[in-house]
Amino acid sequence: MMLAVFAILGLILGSFCNVVISRGPVLWGLSEEPRPQGPFDLSRPRSHCPSCKRTLAPAELVPLLSYAVLRGRCRQCGARIAGRYPLIELLGGLAGIAAVLCAPGVAGAAFLLGFLLLLLAAAAIDAETGYLPDALTGPALWLALLAAAAGLSVPPGAAIIGAAAGYAAFRGIAGGYAALRGREGLGRGDAKLLAAGGAALGPLALPFVVLASAACALAVIAAAAARGRPVEGGTALRFGPYLAGGIALVLLAEAALPGRVVPPWPLL
């Protein structure tokens, strides 16, 4: 029962993530796309086809099902609907299922689902724009600190030290890299995202998160090189999606097997 409720909740919130991913960059000034005329926020104007501007009927807004029934095309103008929409909805539904399977209790599952969805939206926006918005990494950090205060994750002291250590580690590496190479290697958004991960998992989890993220990123670079794409030191890689994936993996593993993945924080 709880599994079904969280799966459906994840699908619906995943659908809302799509709105955030589409409009957030314009709302927060991270996109070169001009702000449309008239009222523009996360709820206005109503969801519409980007091609023919027709407002979508409620039956066209059902997560996954509408895309399948419409076969990925607008009913009126036949324009292709980006595959990102059903993908994000699917990942939202899977996040709901994973949250219930990994966390004991409703409150723990609700925290996991909320945190995973913030990671998902942040990762998708970074993949599309190259920016990790504060409007998403900030709430992720606060949500993790609140969960620690409510006894849903690590002890509060570990959450605070984890957040500071995550931020400081990436800012330190970024500063060192910039001084050595004379160009920016790691964005500030990556440091804020790792701070949120440290708050959710405690400082001892950070090496696992960074290793998991770097392994995924290297695998993608190796795959690109194998297909004959040139890879050099200056080749830009948006690290946010990998970092979000690494945090999500360690978070779910740690929720499912408490104390077995990350050593318990001994001090606070």
The answer to whether residue 57 forms part of the interface with Zn ion (CB under 5 A) is: no
- Taking the C-alpha atoms of residue 20 and residue 42, their distance in angstroms, rounded to an integer, is 7
Among 110, 140, 113, 112, residue whose Cα is nearest residue 125: 140
Choose the stretch contacting Zn ion; rule: CB under 5 A; options: 71-79, 81-89, 140-148, 177-185: 71-79
Choose the stretch contacting Zn ion; rule: CB under 5 A; options: 15-23, 59-67, 68-76, 192-200: 68-76
How far from 18 is each of 54, 82, 90, CA to CA, in Å?
18, 11, 11
Residue 80 Cβ vs Zn ion, minimum distance, rounded to whole Å:
10
The answer to whether residue 257 forms part of the interface with Zn ion (CB under 5 A) is: no
- How many chain residues bind Zn ion (CB under 5 A)? 7
The answer to whether residue 225 forms part of the interface with Zn ion (CB under 5 A) is: no
The answer to whether residue 82 forms part of the interface with Zn ion (CB under 5 A) is: no
Can you tell me which residue has the tokens 């830009």? 236
The answer to whether residue 49 forms part of the interface with Zn ion (CB under 5 A) is: yes
Indicate the residue among 55 and 76 with the shorter CB distance to Zn ion: 76
> Site for Zn ion (CB under 5 A): which residue of 3, 5, 42, 52?
52
Tell me the DSSP string of 24-61.
HHHHTT-SSSPPPSS--SSSSSPPB-TTT-PBPPGGGG
Provide the Cα torsion 237, 240, 243, 248; round to 10°.
-140
Sign of CA dihedral 161, 163, 164, 165: positive
The answer to whether residue 47 forms part of the interface with Zn ion (CB under 5 A) is: no
Judged by the rule CB under 5 A, the positions of this chain that interact with Zn ion are 49, 51-52, 74, 76-77, 79
